[in-house]
């Protein structure tokens, strides 16, 4: 398992690699633009090519993931918001593709009470539209659908829902999944013992498929199990705890994946000590299985 962290991109994107290396991360995740603004950042071909070259040459940071803007809501019943979301997703994916990222993580959004079945066709059309608009390589950057914490009318609050989205998109190979541990916990999916972790991995295999699982978001939780709120906590300081996370991280089927910290740290995101803690928790999980 490769332990990574969400970091600041910095001017010209390349500083993200140095930020990751400074805290000992093997993988970095960045926003391709401000997470709370619609206007996309404009990166010229030379900037994107420079990032690809820097990533390939970096001695310790082995890969990059991008995270799409939080404002995107592909499930919105509001046609204006839905159109803005489609355009924003396409812009985010174009940057991720140009950087050579291993995936663009996406929160699908909320149907605002219209219902999953009503929202599904629009979600699928938006995903395929963005993928087709950007796909210009033999190894395109996939869109990684993230499981939701279960608040409100979010789409993707279960692996069954994510599987239905992928199936409705024709099982497009350019769609994958990102598993967020805090969101799992908040949505009431247990994994804090080896038996529960085994059951979760079986659930993933029987719905979206383990081959589509491309990365983890490794987070403890500020809120209780089943609280349906998206509230991340530093590893070991939340309601999941180090032991609960170890039970999942040590599962043989998850080894080799990137586990990306999205924790608050001291208020400015993951620190070196958070990366160290994550590795300790992972190693404890390996020991549980030995």
pLDDT for res 137: 65
Local mean pLDDT, 10-residue blocks, the chain (290 residues): 96 95 98 89 93 97 97 97 97 96 97 94 97 83 95 91 98 97 97 98 98 98 97 98 98 97 97 98 96
Q: Alpha carbon of 77 to those of 80, 125, 162: distances in Å?
A: 9, 14, 19
Query: What's the CATH fold of domain 2-289?
Result: TIM Barrel (3.20.20)
- Record the tokens describing residue 161, joined without a space: 């829902």
H helix or E strand, kind and range, residue 180: strand 175-180
- Residue 10 has what pLDDT? 84
Task: Name the strand (E) or helix (H) holding 17.
Answer: helix 15-22
Domain boundaries, the chain: 2-289
Percent of the chain residues past pLDDT 70, beyond the cut: 99
Instruction: Supply the pTM of this predicted model.
Output: 0.97
Beta-carbon contacts of 218 under 8 Å, excluding residues fewer than 6 positions away, are: 3, 181, 235, 245, 249, 259, 260, 261, 262, 263, 278
pLDDT of residue 152: 79
**What is the phi-psi region of residue 150: left when phi exceeds 0, alpha when psi lies from -120 to 50, beta otherwise?**
left
pLDDT for the residue numbered 78: 96
Gap between the Cα atoms of 44 and 23, Å rounded: 28
Q: Token pair for residue 130?
A: 């963005």
């Amino acid at each position: 398992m490769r332990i990574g962290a969400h970091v600041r991109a910095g001017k010209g994107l390349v500083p993200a690699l140095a930020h990751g290396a400074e805290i000992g991360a093997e993988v970095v995740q960045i926003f391709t633009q401000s997470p709370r603004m619609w206007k996309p950042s404009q990166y010229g071909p030379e900037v994107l090519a420079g990032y690809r070259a820097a990533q390939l040459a970096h001695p310790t940071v082995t890969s990059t993931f991008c995270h799409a803007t939080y404002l995107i809501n592909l499930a919105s019943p509001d046609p204006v918001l839905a159109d803005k979301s489609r355009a924003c997703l396409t812009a985010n994916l174009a940057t991720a593709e140009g950087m050579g990222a291993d995936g663009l993580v996406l929160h699908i959004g909320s149907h605002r009470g219209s219902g999953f079945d009503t929202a599904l066709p629009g979600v699928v059309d938006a995903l395929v539209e963005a993928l087709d608009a950007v796909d210009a390589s033999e190894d395109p950057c996939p869109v990684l659908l993230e499981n939701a914490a279960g608040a409100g009318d979010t789409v993707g609050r279960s692996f069954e829902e994510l599987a239905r989205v992928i199936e409705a998109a024709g099982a497009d190979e350019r769609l994958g999944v990102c598993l967020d541990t805090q969101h799992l916990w908040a949505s009431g999916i247990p994994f804090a013992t080896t038996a529960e972790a085994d059951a979760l991995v079986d659930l993933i295999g029987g719905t979206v498929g383990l081959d589509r699982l491309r990365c983890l978001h490794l987070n403890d939780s500020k809120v209780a199990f089943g609280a349906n709120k998206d509230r991340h906590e530093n590893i070991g300081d939340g309601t999941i705890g180090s032991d609960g996370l170890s039970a999942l991280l040590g599962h043989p089927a998850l080894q080799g994946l990137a586990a990306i910290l999205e924790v608050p740290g001291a208020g400015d995101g993951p620190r070196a000590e958070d990366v160290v803690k994550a590795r300790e928790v992972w190693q404890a999980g390996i020991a549980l299985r030995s």
